[in-house]
């Protein structure tokens, strides 16, 4: 009876150890992938903010008001 308890305990601890080890590997892989994504996002954000700063230095064009279309009185009276 003692040997069977010992074997069941060893197998249980071994199974838990293998699950934890594989879980740690997967977690570290996911974490490193997430870190890469965040680093890429930060680099893109830094690049876009530096390019937007150069755009701010460019003179802006003055916007013209929209031209209204003049409708003759004859076209209004047809309805």
Q: What is the pLDDT of residue 24?
A: 87
Dist. CA 50–CA 15, nearest whole Å = 52
DSSP 46: H
Q: What angle do CA 12, 15, 16 make, to 5 degrees?
A: 85
Q: What is the pLDDT of residue 13?
A: 95
Encode pLDDT of 6-20 as tens digits. Answer: 999 999 999 999 999
Residue 36: pLDDT over 60: yes
pLDDT confidence band for 57 (50 / 70 / 90)? low
pLDDT confidence band for 55 (50 / 70 / 90)? low
């Amino acid at each position: 009876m003692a040997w069977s308890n010992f074997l069941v305990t060893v197998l249980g601890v071994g199974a838990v150890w293998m699950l934890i080890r594989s879980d740690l590997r997967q977690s570290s892989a996911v974490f490193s992938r997430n870190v890469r994504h965040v680093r890429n996002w930060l680099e893109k954000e830094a690049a876009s903010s530096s390019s937007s700063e150069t755009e701010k230095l460019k003179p802006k064009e003055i916007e013209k008001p929209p031209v209204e279309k003049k409708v003759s009185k004859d076209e209004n009276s047809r309805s």
